[in-house]
Amino acid sequence: MFTFSCPVSFSITCSSSNGNIQNHGDYRVNINVNGSSCTRRPIKHHTLLNEVDVKEGSTSLSAIQFLENGHISEEKIRQRIPRQKQLVDPYRQGLITERGVGYRQTVVVRSYEVGPDKTATLESLLNLFQETALNHMWMSGLLSNGFGATHGMMRNNLIWVVSRMHVQVDHYPIWGEVIEIDTWVGASGKNGMRRDWVIRSQASGSTYARATSTWVMMNEQTRRLSKMPDEVRDEISPWFIQKQAINEAVPDKIVKLDDKAKHVNSDLKPKRSDLDMNQHVNNVKYVRWMLETIPDKFLERHQLSSIILEYRRECGSSEVVQSLCQPDEDESFANGVQQNLLTNKVLVGGNGRLGSLDINVLTYGYTHLLQTQNEEIVRGRTRWNRKICTGL
With a CB cutoff of 8 Å and minimum separation 6, the contacts of 121 are 113, 114, 115
Instruction: Return the amino acid letter for 192.
Output: G
Active site annotation includes 389: no
**Local structure of 237: helix, strand or coil:** helix
Nearest to 355 by CA among 363, 343, 364, 346: 346
Which of 136, 280, 302, 368 is flagged as catalytic? 280
**What is the spatial distance between Cα 317 and Cα 327, in angstroms, rounded to a whole number?**
29
- Residue 298 is inside which H or E element, if any? helix 296-301
Active site annotation includes 280: yes
**What is the spatial distance between Cα 121 and Cα 110, in angstroms, rounded to a whole number?**
11
Which of 6, 283, 315, 385 is flagged as catalytic? 315
Which of 278, 282, 283, 385 is flagged as catalytic? 278
* Sign (positive or negative) of CA dihedral 42, 47, 50, 53: negative
**What is the spatial distance between Cα 311 and Cα 297, in angstroms, rounded to a whole number?**
28
- Residue 67 is inside which H or E element, if any? strand 65-67
Active site annotation includes 278: yes
Active-site residue set: 278, 280, 315
